[in-house]
């Protein structure tokens, strides 16, 4: 079975976490999705690129989540989420996935 690239897992966690929180009205449930995807992507980053890269990508994932909030005030919620998810996916691909 083919492995889902970490870039897809991370971007899916950001988009899915927001979607779940928005559609269910339960922010904590969205946080569970966000955290689970982040942990899964983190394991892949560790395996593919090592600990330092995984730490940097994990920090980028958390920064993207945090940064999407003020960005949403300027461009709207969904564009902000898709924008930061794309940025994290690109970083993941550049640092880890393209080498796998």
pLDDT in tens, 18-60: 999 999 999 999 999 999 999 999 999 999 999 999 999 999 9
> Which residues are CB-contacts of 98 (< 8 A; sequence separation ≥ 6)?
none
Task: Say if CB 68 and CB 54 are below 8 A apart.
Answer: no
The neighbour count for residue 70, using CB atoms within 10 Å, is 9
Please determine, for residue 100, whether its predicted confidence score (pLDDT) is greater than 90.
Answer: no
Please determine, for residue 96, whether its predicted confidence score (pLDDT) is greater than 90.
Answer: yes
Average model confidence (pLDDT) across the chain: 96
Model pLDDT, residue 99: 78
């Amino acid at each position: 079975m083919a492995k889902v690239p970490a870039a897809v897992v991370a971007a899916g966690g950001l988009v899915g976490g927001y979607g779940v929180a928005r559609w269910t009205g339960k922010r904590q449930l969205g946080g569970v999705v966000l955290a689970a995807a982040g942990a899964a992507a983190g394991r892949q980053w560790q395996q593919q690129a090592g600990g330092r890269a995984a730490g940097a990508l994990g920090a980028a994932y958390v920064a993207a989540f945090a940064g999407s909030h003020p960005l949403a005030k300027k461009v709207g919620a969904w564009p902000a989420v898709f924008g930061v998810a794309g940025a994290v996916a690109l970083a993941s691909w550049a640092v880890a996935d393209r080498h796998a």
